[in-house]
Amino acid sequence: MIAESSLLARAANLKPEREKRVVFLTARVHPGESPASFVCQGIIDFLVSQHPAARVLRDHLVFKIVPMLNPDGVYLGNYRCSLMGFDLNRHWQDPSPWAHPTLHAVKQLIVHMNQDPKVSLEFYIDVHAHSTMMNGFMYGNVFEEEERVQRQAVFPRLLCNNAPDFSFSSTSFNRDVVKAGTGRRFLGGLLDDTSYCYTLEVSFYSYLAAGSSAPVPYTEDTYMKLGRNVARTFLDYYRLNNLIDDNKPTNHSNSSLEGQSYRQGNSHGNGRNQELEKSERRIQGSKGDY
């Protein structure tokens, strides 16, 4: 097995000649999966904040975020389908501009960026909620090349270290034929081998904390905290932690962003360590929580 440190270095530096590294995130393609909106809100709130880590991320990465892929379904109160009765997450292969307009537009944008030699589209993450499993976890793709498979596991492993509610043991990689029309599966085949496509799932109801057998109910705040941890994990992935200036003032107090450095965790993602506590005491400011 290839050492994780070398995998991280190779995964993060495969296309250094390209100018813009893009992370593309979508959410709420299934309108009833409302926890996905809170996770996405946590990502957005953190990325636009004045937190030193957020500033570093904005300086080095371009984030494209579509927080609601199925707005008509959300408006109507549908659980899974759009106004026209389509499960949009089964139509990525050939979306119709008439029947699936939001999906068609997003796919066109991704295809255009993928063809731009000045853009490196390195991540696609589609945020969902799961009705039967606990914790946050990911689905990824299966490839023939062993190194590509192992590189794809790097980001979920790092997120597992950062987020106490993320479970790497529940994360799985597959090529289930019934999922061929999903964003994760379609884009995994469209983009090149230096791009990584995932479905991020989070439980509708609870997660297991470290060393506990008692489920902890999710709240809006803990969903948003998972979103912040997703954003923070890109600092680890791209090795940008050393660029954070902790002395810069922020406009947000009691930052719940989980620490400046995480390297402890387990298969359930319970990686909250002493660095988290130090960070939360250290980052002070005025009203707000990021």
- What are the catalytic residues? 201
Handedness of CA 174, 21, 68, 38 (dihedral sign): positive
Q: Which two tokens stand for residue 53?
A: 């880590």
The span from the CA of 194 to the CA of 10, in Å, is: 9
The string over 30-52, giving b where at least 16 C-beta atoms fall within 10 Å of a residue's C-beta and e elsewhere, is bbbbebbbbbbbbbbbbbebebb
- Which tokens go with 110? 């991704």
Spatial CB neighbours of 4, under 8 Å, sequence gap ≥ 6: 154, 157
- Asked if 199 and 27 touch (Cβ cutoff 8 Å), the reply is no
Pairing of β 196-203 and β 119-130: parallel
Beta-sheet pairing, 136-141 with 196-203: antiparallel
